[in-house]
Every structure is written in structure tokens, then in C-alpha cells.
């Protein structure tokens, strides 16, 4: 029987009801973690929970809308009261926002995207850092995007927010270099998700399209206690996935 890489760990995965988040949550459970599933959709979380339990894994549902950033202050204390610890934090949830020229965009749409993609992460870092630092091998991973590095026409809202959250996590990594916490960014490339189809409604024409299940193992490697990477932007190519 193979050794499970995340045995006994407690992991929080946001955006866990579909796409990359769902694939990561299921793989974490297979690797022995107790997974806290967070997303807006109760029914979507229940579906992932059923899949995890069918395979003998353990999960806890936490339906939550990340735009309610004031309520996020209670996240760390809630997790501590329920589990006594947190070892892994995967920030995967994100809004695409409106695909429109910057000159035609509306400030309210920018606000919505920025609150969910960036400010919610500021709040989660604030409330979760004490738990992650208390772990013998705390791990934090955020899903970045090439759109936050290279401009994509009409994708300003998402791209700017992703550039900001990637910089946020790199800053956090600099602040935690002398701790047991490892903070990294995954730039997964083109992944076959609902969001990708919204960005490319006519169909994605690239040649490197991956499925969520194909990129999920990278999240296991960066969440493992043996991971030494810190403050890096990691791609599937780094692990030949």
C-alpha cells in the first residue's frame, strides 16, 4: 500500500465545487487529508463531498460567498474551534468579471472582481496565518494566471486582479521566510474549465490544454511536508505533469 502524502493534514480549498478546486479537493482526500470544502454553491459542494466519501475520504462543507469579506475574519477561529489546526490553504476561487474593453467597463464590476479575487485573500491571510504558522509544515497555494502576467484584450478585470493576488502572495512569502510556512503560486496554464470557455467562447486554440485532474498533482507536491519551494511561481512543466 502506497504512503499517502497528506495523511492527517487539514486542508482548506476555496472554489472547491468545480474545476481545479474540485479536482484538488478530491485528490487531497485520496492522499489522506481532511478537506474543508469552501464555495458559494451548497449543491456543488455536496456533489464533491459525495465523491470524496465514496472513495473513503473525509470532507467538511463550508458554503461561503467570498465577497462577504467582513465575515471572513471569523474563518480562522472557526477552523481552530472545529479542527484545532490548519495545515494547508489553497486559494483557488475567483471571478472572471466582465470581458469588456477597459474604456467600456463599469467600476462596480471592477469592485466585485477585486473584492473576491484580491481583498478576500487579504482577509484569509490575516485570519489563517496564525494557524498555518502553528502547523509543523504550513502550506499556502494560490492559483495564478498567465492573464495576470501577459495582457489579454477585454480581460482587464480578471488580469489585473490576478496580477495583484500573485504579487500579494509573493509579498506574503517574503514576510514568512523564517517560518515553517511555505507560500507558492501555481500558474496552471490553460485548463479545461468553465472559466476558460468564457474567455474563449469560440473554443481554445492552444495546444497545451490540460484537465483539472492533470494539474491537481502539482497541488499535492506543493502541499506536502517535504516541499521546500517558497515564494515561487510554479507551472505543471516544473513537475513534468
* Catalytic residue of the set 114, 158, 204, 239: 158
Pairing of strands 10-14, 182-186: unpaired
In this structure, what C-alpha cell is assigned to residue 47?
456533489
| Dihedral sign for Cα atoms in the order 32, 186, 162, 137 | positive
In DSSP terms, which residues pair with 113 in a beta bridge? none
- Comparing C-alpha atoms, which of 215, 214, 114 is closest to residue 156? 114
- 241 contact partners, CB below 8 Å, separation of at least 6: 210, 214, 215, 217, 218
Distance between start and end Cα atoms, the chain: 23
In this structure, what C-alpha cell is assigned to residue 110?
471592477
Collapsing DSSP to helix, strand or coil, 237 comes out as: helix
Angle at 96 between CA 90 and CA 98, to 5 degrees: 160
Interatomic CA distance for residues 157 and 117, integer angstroms: 10
Q: Is 80 a catalytic residue?
A: no
Which residues are part of the catalytic machinery?
158
Amino acid at each position: 500500500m502506497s504512503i499517502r502524502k497528506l495523511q492527517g493534514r487539514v486542508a482548506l480549498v476555496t472554489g472547491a465545487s468545480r474545476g481545479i478546486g474540485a479536482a484538488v479537493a478530491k485528490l487531497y482526500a485520496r492522499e489522506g487529508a481532511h478537506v474543508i470544502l469552501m464555495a458559494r454553491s451548497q449543491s456543488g459542494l455536496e456533489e464533491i463531498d459525495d465523491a470524496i466519501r465514496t472513495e473513503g475520504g473525509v470532507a467538511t462543507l463550508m458554503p461561503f460567498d467570498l465577497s462577504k469579506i467582513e465575515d471572513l475574519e471569523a474563518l480562522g477561529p472557526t477552523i481552530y474551534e472545529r479542527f484545532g489546526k490548519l495545515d494547508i490553504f489553497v486559494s483557488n476561487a475567483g471571478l472572471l468579471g466582465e470581458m469588456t474593453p477597459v474604456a467600456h467597463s463599469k467600476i462596480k464590476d471592477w469592485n466585485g472582481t477585486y473584492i473576491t479575487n484580491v481583498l478576500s485573500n487579504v482577509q484569509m491571510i490575516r485570519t489563517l496565518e496564525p494557524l498555518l504558522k502553528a502547523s509543523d509544515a504550513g502550506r499556502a497555494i494560490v492559483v495564478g494566471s498567465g492573464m495576470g502576467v501577459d495582457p489579454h484584450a477585454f480581460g482587464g478585470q480578471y488580469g489585473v486582479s490576478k496580477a495583484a493576488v500573485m504579487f500579494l502572495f509573493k509579498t506574503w512569502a517574503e514576510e514568512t521566510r523564517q517560518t515553517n510556512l511555505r507560500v507558492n503560486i501555481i500558474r496552471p496554464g490553460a485548463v479545461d474549465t468553465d472559466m476558460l470557455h468564457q474567455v474563449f467562447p469560440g473554443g481554445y486554440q492552444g495546444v497545451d490544454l490540460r484537465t483539472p485532474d492533470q494539474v491537481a498533482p502539482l497541488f499535492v507536491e506543493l502541499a506536502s511536508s517535504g516541499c521546500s519551494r517558497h515564494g515561487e511561481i510554479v507551472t505543471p512543466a516544473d513537475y513534468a505533469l
